[in-house]
Chain A
């Protein structure tokens, strides 16, 4: 079945550091890929998405590129802020219409001032 693997956390960085959170996936077809962020005590917010190979999703300084050849969708940000501290989930869905989201385990990110 489909699966998503994220880098183990937690990740702790200093403000203005470069961030990479690795995400790889296994899928039978051509999934859509997502990054969601969950701030403490809140629900999930869509951060960015990509629906086909070589698409780049971007939002709030975060970027991720859909790499079919390496089955990856790594999240990057050039300069993190304390407010970026949260849990980040990589996810995929296959097919069209109402489909199950398959999540990675989540990566807890803490940014120190």
Chain B
């Protein structure tokens, strides 16, 4: 089973709202990722968590706040977003091991976010 789940599937929010995106995996993976994908573009990495610790932050604005409460769960807290933040937000996970063959990233279906 290589399933990563994300909720909600769609989210519409105003610029003053606070909302959260949720990602879950039960594959025992110890690395989890947030990507942002604009229309007709490839995904862009935002954050990486390794063993529940933030290991990579790709200079993402502070209005995006990631959280990894446990090894199965990854959240992305959103506050004071701008219309240009509207995009598909993808979560991924990987095993995080010493073997290259085991570091494949598996993606969830994404949350389509619209900021009004």
Contact size range, B: 20 to 34
CA–CA, A100 to B56, complex, Å?
9
Closest partner residue, chain A, to B42 (CB atom): A103
B110 to chain A: which residues have CB within 8 Å?
Answer: 42-43
B50 interface residue per 8 A CB criterion: yes
A96 touches B42 (CB 8 A): no
A98 touches B33 (CB 8 A): yes
Mark out the residues of chain A between 36 and 68 whose CB falls within 8 Å of any chain B CB in the assembled complex. 36, 42-46, 49, 51-52
A52 to chain B: which residues have CB within 8 Å?
Answer: 100
A106 touches B31 (CB 8 A): no
Give which listed residue, A42, A51, A100, contacts B101 with CB less than 8 A. Answer: A51
A49 to chain B: which residues have CB within 8 Å?
Answer: 104
B103 touches A44 (CB 8 A): no
CA–CA, A93 to B94, complex, Å?
12
B58 to chain A: which residues have CB within 8 Å?
Answer: 100
Binding site for B on A (CB under 8 A): 32, 34, 36, 42-46, 49, 51-52, 89, 91, 93, 96-101, 103-106
Give me the 8 closest cross-chain CB pairs, A-B, nearest first.
A103-B42, A98-B31, A44-B107, A43-B109, A98-B50, A43-B110, A43-B107, A51-B100
Binding site for A on B (CB under 8 A): 2, 6, 31, 33, 40-43, 45, 48-50, 55-56, 58, 88, 90, 92, 94, 96-101, 103-110
